[in-house]
Amino acid sequence: MPWVFVYGTLKRGQSNVQVMAGARFAAPALSVQPWRLVALRHYPALVREAGPARIAGELWEVPEAMMEMLDRFEEVPALYTRHEIEVECLAADEAGSLAAGARLPAHTYFMPAAQAAAGRELLTGAWPA
């Protein structure tokens, strides 16, 4: 099953976590590379440009069949594009398949810089700010 890194409304406790029903939360995680993260009106956007901080989020194990649904939810390719990045687990997962500090590739969603231009930069790499 693919790994997906979420950093906004799909995280536990956020407004769209129900979209992740059928997936398994694995661990809190950080992007290995620092990216730009901006806050738009109701959600954040990750921009595929070097930024000031590693991005804080969550790592989820997602059934292959859910990936197309996630792409539709994220409005790929009109609003976001899906790319693979390297993430680092901040804790071991309950299943025992990942150790704290483990690094692995995960899918995540990026918004083009032009579409995210109206957003406020989140210099800490975390949303909500």
Number of domains in the chain: 1
Q: Which among 113, 112, 111, 114 is positioned nearest to 44, based on CA atoms?
A: 111
Query: What CATH number is given to the structural domain containing 36?
Result: 3.10.490.10
Range of the domain at 20: 3-121
Report CA dihedral (84, 64, 92, 19) to the nearest 10 degrees. 90
Residues in the chain where the model's pLDDT stays below 70? 129
Residue 127 lies in a domain: no
- Is 49 a catalytic site residue? no
Residue 96: per-residue pLDDT: 87
Active-site hit among 74, 75, 84, 121 = 74
The model's pTM is 0.96
Q: Which long-range contacts (CB under 8 A, 24 or more apart) does 17-22 make?
A: 19/69, 19/70, 19/73, 20/60, 20/62, 22/62, 22/63, 22/66
Tokens standing for 66? 């859910």
Q: Give strand ranges (E) for the chain.
A: 3-6, 24-39, 44-50, 53-61, 81-89, 103-110, 120-121
Residues making up the chain, counted from first to last: 129
Residue 6: per-residue pLDDT: 98
Residue 129 lies in a domain: no
Residue 94: per-residue pLDDT: 84
Residue 121: per-residue pLDDT: 96
Residue 95: per-residue pLDDT: 86
Residue 38 lies in a domain: yes
